[in-house]
Amino acid sequence: MEAIFSLVSMYAREGLLLPLKEGDICENIRDFCVWDEGEVLGCAALRIFSRELAEVRSVAVHPKAKGRGVGTSLVAFCIDEARSMGLRKVFVLTKSPGFFAKCGFFEVDKRELPHKVWRDCIMCPKFPDCDETAMMLYIK
Ligand SMILES: CC(C)(COP(=O)(O)OP(=O)(O)OC[C@H]1O[C@@H](n2cnc3c(N)ncnc32)[C@H](O)[C@@H]1OP(=O)(O)O)[C@@H](O)C(=O)NCCC(=O)NCCS
């Protein structure tokens, strides 16, 4: 939990990820997967919204592990998990659309996402002027 908090907070300070409180991570720890080489070097979370839809969020790779496929593997793990639960679609809201395009996501209109997706956004300092790109992947 501490490692996830530290990774997410580092990128939240750069404005790349939404900040998470330690309590949020603790409550949702089962959503997370980590990349562990004796030290946790990456994390990602899969949050389920409905029978069909989940979100991949909080994808973070430590600077010393970037460019080695860790981020792609974590996202692929989340998608496999979504598939194993019978979900049909996974979305992201991201400032790194190029990375998610490489993971198979494509850009969609934010209005295509259901209302309850926005429950976290009210906490965001940028609300309602969201500068993230919405992207979707249909699970095969
Ligand atoms: C984005 C991030 C998760 C990528 O992790 P990574 O382990 O370095 O990614 P990978 O090594 O799996 O890269 C896969 C591909 O995506 C590309 N890529 C990585 N980051 C990218 C970015 N920000 N924009 C565009 N392309 C990117 C890589 O060049 C690579 O392309 P290639 O296959 O042609 O070589 C990582 O840089 C990070 O933690 N960034 C800060 C937090 C963030 O922006 N998270 C995503 C939003 S939820």
Say whether pLDDT at 116 is over 90: no
Q: What would you measure as the largest C-alpha separation in the chain, in angstroms?
A: 41
pLDDT digits (tens, 9 = 90+) for 10-54: 999 998 998 999 999 999 999 999 999 999 999 999 999 999 999
Q: Is the CB of 94 under 6 A from ligand 1?
A: yes
| Ligand 1 atom 34, closest CA | 102
Q: Is the CB of 32 under 6 A from ligand 1?
A: no
Q: Is the CB of 66 under 6 A from ligand 1?
A: yes
Calpha distance 11→114 (Å, rounded): 26
Q: Domain limits of the chain?
A: 2-138
CATH of domain 2-138: 3.40.630.30
Ligand 1 atom with least separation from CA of 65 = 7
Q: What are the C-alpha distances in Å from 101 to residues 7, 10, 61, 107?
A: 22, 23, 17, 8
